[in-house]
Structure 1
Amino acid sequence: MPAAATSRDRLVAAAFELFEGHGYDATTVDEIATRAGTGRSTFFRHFRGKEDVVLPDHEALLGRVGGRLATASPGGYEVALREAAGIVLAHYLAEGPTARARYRLASSVPAIRDREIASVQRYVRLFAQHIHRWLDTEPDGPLRAELVASAVVIAHNHVLRRWLRGETDDDAATAALLDHSLTLAVSLLRAPAEPGGTPTVVIAGDQADVEQVVQAVRAALGKKPATPGLGSS
């Protein structure tokens, strides 16, 4: 570990070493503090318990995400959503092996898994809060805001899980995959087009009779002339 590592960094590193070597349940706070070269009081200045030492600093991340969304200007909402999701992904990528060790622990320790699931909902609520502010006055705005918020978090987590499982290792490729996934997620930021499509205009000459006009309209709409059959007169 770098000499400049903080006591918090040392506690996190020590905790993961012990969790992977001895198991989560068998590891005590005292053992973590001793391995990190600190005392219990230092541990509890940074964390409330073992679960907190495992989880990323979601408070700081939520603050950064909220700060980026708060600065979004009309016309820049999509960029803000992409950059806000990118903040979270970049944090996990920077953690490297620690993030993957946490993922393995969450797969086997219910308390950690439950905390991570709860944190996902906090991100959804934060995104929704800002997207509602942007869209609520538009057609179907409140519904679209909820859909976009959930979709952005789902897109981010889909990409993050692939990286955590080792399916992607290249950071640039992972960021590109997030960009692609978010393209799908943010599509409802733009109001759907009104039904009906573009009107078709047919111009008929002065000498055209009704039958000729009908034939011209059918041709313009790509319809074949009606074929006489049962029920026709």
Structure 2
Amino acid sequence: MGHGDRGDRARNATGEAARLPSGRHRLSRDYVASNQRARILRAVTEVVGGRGYSQLTIDAIVGASAISKKTFYEHFRNKEEAFFAACESVASRMTAAFDDAAAERSEPDARLRAGLGALLEFLASEPLGARMAVVEVLAAGPEAVARRDRVKRHFSTTVVEHLLAMYPDFPEPELAAEVIVGGVHEVLYSRISRGEAHALPALRRGLVRMYALPAPRSADH
């Protein structure tokens, strides 16, 4: 996910939005706006991922992003809108990590292994974003949870496609995918909530076994 090329240019090598120089400068208006938005989203992620959703206030965002309240309101109407945008940023990059890695493999089971591995690596590399999008999102109300559920449905759809590619006659693939995605999500939630996002990549082999479903027999239909 991300904010496109302009957003990428507004970030420094660590992935964080660089602070703009003070005083007069020759930066374009679009660049400045992109930089400001990136800093706001990074601040939201830092506050929510580091301190919890209950600590997210406009003052906290302004303090962490080093922008003015006036600038904040030029980009977002309220803290909820900024939170949704920050979660969408993490979710988009998370799904892209899975999808891009899976696309590099040809066999369905290899695609699932590669995608899951990339997902775990991404979450480990973004512990604050992981906590915000996986754990703290539950404290942000029904709209935030609904957005989270859309991401889970994306993964469920992907799993269904791969299950049917491996086993064309697989019974109730949608239910199987829901169970698989739900199980993986619960494991991610428990580890991230305990502050163990860094250890997620080590779980790949065990989680992949959840995909190792036996080919259905005709008698089971």
Work out whether the TM-score is over 0.5.
yes
Change (3 A) 1:21 1:150: closer
Report the counterpart of residue 149 of structure 1 in structure 2.
177
1:81 aligns with 2:107: no
Alpha-carbon distance, 1:94 to partner: 1.0
Report the counterpart of residue 124 of structure 2 in structure 1.
93
Identity of aligned residues (%): 18
Alpha-carbon distance, 1:128 to partner: 1.8
Distance in 1 (alpha carbons) for counterparts of 2:197 and 2:104: 32
Report the counterpart of residue 176 of structure 1 in structure 2.
202
Alpha-carbon distance, 1:40 to partner: 4.2
Report the counterpart of residue 163 of structure 1 in structure 2.
191
Q: Which protein is richer in helix relative to its size?
A: 2
Alignment RMSD (CA, Å): 3.7
Alpha-carbon distance, 1:121 to partner: 1.2
Q: Tell me which of 113, 121, 134 is aligned to 2:145.
A: 113
Distance in 2 (alpha carbons) for counterparts of 1:147 and 1:31: 42
- Native 8 Å contact 1:123 1:153 kept in 2: yes
Change (3 A) 1:90 1:43: farther
Distance in 1 (alpha carbons) for counterparts of 2:162 and 2:114: 14
- SS of 1:57's partner is helix
Change (3 A) 1:69 1:169: closer
- The total of aligned residue pairs comes to 180
Distance in 2 (alpha carbons) for counterparts of 1:69 and 1:21: 32
- Native 8 Å contact 2:156 2:181 kept in 1: yes
Report the counterpart of residue 187 of structure 1 in structure 2.
212
Alpha-carbon distance, 1:120 to partner: 0.9
CA deviation vs aligned residue, 1:115-168 (integer Å, no higher than 9, x gap) = 2123211211133234334432xxx33x26435533442342132112112174
- SS of 1:191's partner is coil
> TM-score, length-normalised on structure 1?
0.58
Which deviates more, 112-121 or 99-108? 99-108
Q: Tell me which of 98, 115, 118 is aligned to 1:65.
A: 98
Q: Which has the bigger relative contact order, CA under 8 A and spacing at least 6?
A: 2
Alpha-carbon distance, 1:9 to partner: 5.0
Q: What runs of 5+ residues in structure 2 fail to find an aligned partner? A: 1-10, 18-34
1:10 aligns with 2:39: yes
User: Match for 2:44: what amino acid?
Assistant: A
- Native 8 Å contact 2:156 2:178 kept in 1: yes
- Native 8 Å contact 2:41 2:83 kept in 1: no
Distance in 1 (alpha carbons) for counterparts of 2:95 and 2:123: 14
Report the counterpart of residue 53 of structure 1 in structure 2.
86
